[in-house]
Amino acid sequence: MTGGVLIEAPSARRLILPDRRIIVPTARRRRPRRDALGVLGAAQCGQLSGGTAPMLIARLQGWTVALYSIAESAYVTQVAGVTSAWADLSPSANNFAATVGQQPTFTATDATLANRGSITGDGATQQMHSALDLAPPGTTPIRIYTIAKVVTYVALRRLMAGATTNTLRWRLTNTTNVIAMDNGTATNANTMVAGTWYRSSLVYTNTTSDSLRIGNPAAVTGGNAGNNDPTSFCIFADPTPANFASCAYSMILVVTGSSSLGLAYSNLESALDLWATRYYCGTVTL
């Protein structure tokens, strides 16, 4: 102390008060680091590369997860690759199921996908159904983020569809390698080259903000895909069954409504793209 003035002991970073009491400052608490995901960093969230990370990311960003399926062995019911069920890890647990004679093929270590898992429909008889009941998109917007590929391009086949006619159809057009979205009106066609894994993102809102994003280019938007009520959900074909597509999936995420945190869907897409880059080691076109 000098003339009653409070001084600091430089070596120990202590404060010495006029009455000779010594105060040692406590360490400042640091806020958890945030990474490019816009959520708590990987150390806090668990493994960023883990297969369940997309659902966690979506929920941390305030989205309602209506369905989440990842083609990992723990979540696929199969015998020698013949797949009877694919788990929905969301709270709704609307698992995909396939009846005998319609069961697609599970590959636990797909060499075209950095040895991650995939489920492939043959384009002839195979499809899977989920009891996921979605409202018309004009009531509750629907956003679907998926890792998928067309194996063999056959015009007008369906990669996915709702149970009701002309709903949530993600379908091949008459032009090779051109895919459209359709919930009553086919629109916003985009390029998807057969044999290539893509991140694809479909946004249904019953407005001209509906969009289809496949791979690198900006989303194709401007067309209203319609407001039909899809009820349940089907992949690899129409639910009738008909229009079977030769295609494969590794992951499907469906979120509905809007973010409770007021975040744009583009934030979620960017976070999921970062996850996909790491999880699939660059084998998916983003």
Between CA 219 and CA 214 the distance in angstroms is: 7
Give mean pLDDT, residues 108-133. Answer: 97
**Residue 226 scores a pLDDT above 90:** yes
Say which residue, 218 or 97, is predicted with more confidence: 97
Scored b (16 or more CB within 10 A) or e, 101-133 reads ebbbbbbeebeebeebbbbbbbbeebbbbbbbe
Q: What is the set of domains in the chain, with CATH numbers? A: 1-30 (no CATH), 42-279 (2.60.120.200)
Which residue from 66, 44, 71, 43 is spatially nearest to 55, judged by alpha carbons?
66
- What does the mean pLDDT of the chain come to? 88
Say which residue, 70 or 29, is predicted with more confidence: 70
How confident is the model at residue 22, as a pLDDT? 62
Which residue from 234, 236, 202, 200 is spatially nearest to 96, judged by alpha carbons?
234
In this structure, what are the phi and psi dihedrals at residue 98, rounded to the nearest 5 degrees?
-135, 135
**Residue 42 scores a pLDDT above 70:** no
How confident is the model at residue 217, as a pLDDT? 81
> Helix-strand-coil percent breakdown of the chain, rounded to 5?
10, 40, 50
Between CA 3 and CA 141 the distance in angstroms is: 70
Decide if 142 contacts 254 (C-beta within 8 A): yes
**Residue 41 scores a pLDDT above 90:** no
Amino acid at 275: W
Give mean pLDDT, residues 92-110. Answer: 97
Between CA 40 and CA 197 the distance in angstroms is: 29
pTM of the predicted model as reported, rounded to 2 decimal places: 0.84
Q: Summarize pLDDT for 169-181 with one digit per residue, the tens.
A: 999 999 999 999 9
